[in-house]
């Protein structure tokens, strides 16, 4: 990078931050925070725990966006000021340092842009994630397990919580099905871009002839709805099946029909939960999953009406992203049309850049 390129970058980032400010409206956010502060001082505020929890969640979301914007503004203004001083004094050492840090500066502004973009009510919710193998047999079961590990690492990197709802191991390796909740600010806002078919191409570790195999797995992501979203499901709308939980879990889990499967008759949506020790707890968790899935299905229908993207089968030609490990190494997302060579790092949970690139495309 040279002086001209850095100057153009600063102009681009300044304009982008100006656009972010027009969307965020920091003065209005500060006013909203003052209103919340006044509400919190009401003597009876904390007696209603549900209300207090919702208000606190809204407050934290506003504080996070405002802090992110202020921090990024300070970083960018400091860079501009330091750049102008370095040019005046012909300080090549400082200029070299600024050029080297240009990527981090751009990343900071882009990250702030994403935080502001995630403004939909459901973006702030936790995410219910289900992974199921598709075409590819044992290969796909192993691929589903690799995706599961990737999301666990990503959640851990961001300091998000994870709660396992259902886990069914594959016959030989990997998993047949797994469902879990990722909890954290904007968890669904980020994870929603993972909703779709993921394709893997590699030399199979299960093939003695070392041939290249293609595998598919489906990732379904739903916002974990809260009490503000009212979805009514009557007993006549669902079929309830109980069965013995599989895998680890102790004597009680495996010897009683504690696992629950719910089928929504009208839509065919099926959810199941077996991680809890009691049938009652598993049914409650499964019902929450079902409501969230139906809510996500409605969001998906609205999106399909808007841009014509019907739900796809788990197989050839329907993937949102391809992970190619042989004959070359590259991950390419079909929505951003960007390729990434750091495949090992991404599979180890470094998903932020990939997710943000997709979010920017989807919001432009």
Instruction: Please report the DSSP string for 185-251 in residue order.
Output: TTHHHHHGGG-EEEEEEEE-TT-TT--EEEEEEEEEEEE---TTS-----GGGEEEEEEPPPSSSHH
pLDDT of residue 249: 45
**Long-range contact pairs involving 145-150 (C-beta distance under 8 Å, separation at least 24):** 145/170, 145/173, 145/174, 145/175, 146/174, 146/200, 146/347, 147/198, 147/217, 147/219, 148/175, 148/178, 148/180, 149/347, 150/346, 150/347, 150/348, 150/349, 150/351
Residues in the chain: 364
The three-class DSSP label of residue 337 is coil
Answer yes or no: pTM beyond 0.85: no
Distance between CA atoms of residues 327 and 319, nearest Å: 19
Strands 338-340 and 259-264: unpaired
DSSP 173: S
pLDDT of residue 136: 66
Q: Which fold has domain 122-220+314-362?
A: Alpha-Beta Plaits (3.30.70)
C-beta separation of 336 from 357 below 8 A: yes
Q: For the chain, give every domain's residue range.
A: 3-117, 122-220+314-362, 235-305
Q: Which fold has domain 235-305?
A: Double Stranded RNA Binding Domain (3.30.160)
Residue reference for tokens 């504690």: 258
What lies within 8 Å, CB to CB, of 101 at 6+ separation is: 79
Q: Provide the 10 A C-beta neighbour count for residue 78.
A: 11
pLDDT of residue 172: 83
pLDDT, tens digit, for every residue of 287-345? Answer: 888 888 888 887 777 766 655 555 544 444 568 999 999 888 999 999 999 999 999 99
Give the residues of the chain that fall short of pLDDT 50.
248-253, 312-316
Of 345, 341, 309, the residue nearest 324 (C-alpha): 341
DSSP 348: T
Distance between CA atoms of residues 157 and 159, nearest Å: 6
pLDDT of residue 160: 96
Cα separations in angstroms, 24 against 18, 115, 116: 10, 10, 6
Cα separations in angstroms, 334 against 13, 319, 355: 26, 8, 12
**CATH class as words, domain 3-117:** mainly alpha
**Long-range contact pairs involving 339-347 (C-beta distance under 8 Å, separation at least 24):** 346/150, 347/146, 347/149, 347/150, 347/323
pLDDT of residue 295: 83
C-beta separation of 262 from 282 below 8 A: no
pLDDT of residue 308: 56
pLDDT of residue 305: 65
pLDDT of residue 227: 60
Are 3-117 and 122-220+314-362 the same fold in CATH? Answer: no
Hey, what are 236's tokens?
């006549």
Distance between CA atoms of residues 147 and 186, nearest Å: 20
pLDDT, tens digit, for every residue of 20-49? Answer: 998 889 999 999 999 999 888 888 888 888
């Amino acid at each position: 990078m040279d002086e001209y390129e850095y100057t153009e970058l600063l102009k681009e980032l300044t304009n982008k931050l100006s656009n972010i400010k027009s969307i965020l409206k920091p003065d209005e956010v500060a006013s909203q925070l003052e209103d919340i502060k006044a509400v919190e001082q009401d003597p009876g505020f904390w007696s209603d725990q549900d209300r207090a929890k919702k208000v606190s969640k809204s407050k934290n979301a506003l504080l996070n966006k405002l802090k992110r914007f202020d921090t990024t503004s300070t970083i960018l203004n400091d860079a501009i000021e330091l750049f102008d001083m370095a040019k005046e004094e012909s300080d090549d050492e400082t200029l070299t340092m600024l050029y080297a840090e240009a990527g981090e500066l751009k990343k900071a502004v882009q990250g702030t842009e994403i935080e502001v973009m995630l403004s939909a009510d459901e973006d702030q919710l936790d995410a219910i994630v289900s992974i199921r193998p598709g075409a590819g047999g044992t290969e796909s079961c192993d691929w589903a397990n690799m995706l599961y590990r990737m999301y666990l690492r990503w959640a851990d990197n961001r300091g998000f919580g994870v709660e396992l709802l259902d886990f069914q191991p594959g016959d030989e390796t990997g998993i047949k099905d797994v469902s879990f909740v990722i909890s954290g600010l904007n968890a669904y806002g980020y994870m929603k871009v993972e909703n779709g078919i993921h394709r893997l191409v590699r030399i199979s570790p299960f093939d003695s002839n070392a041939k290249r195999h293609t595998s598919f797995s489906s990732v379904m992501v739903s916002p974990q709805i809260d009490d503000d979203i009212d979805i009514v499901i009557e007993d006549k709308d669902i079929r309830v099946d109980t069965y013995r939980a599989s895998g680890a879990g102790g004597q009680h889990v495996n010897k009683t029909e504690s696992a629950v499967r719910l089928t929504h008759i009208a839509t065919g949506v099926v959810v199941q939960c077996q991680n809890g020790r009691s049938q009652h707890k598993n049914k409650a968790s499964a019902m929450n999953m079902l409501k969230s899935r139906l809510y996500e299905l409605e969001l998906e229908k609205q999106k399909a009406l808007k841009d014509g993207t019907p739900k796809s089968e788990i197989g050839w030609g329907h993937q949102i992203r391809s992970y190619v490990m042989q004959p070359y190494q590259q991950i390419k997302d079909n929505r951003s049309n960007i390729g990434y060579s750091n495949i090992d790092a991404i599979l180890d949970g470094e998903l932020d850049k990939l997710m943000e690139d997709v979010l920017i495309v989807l919001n432009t």
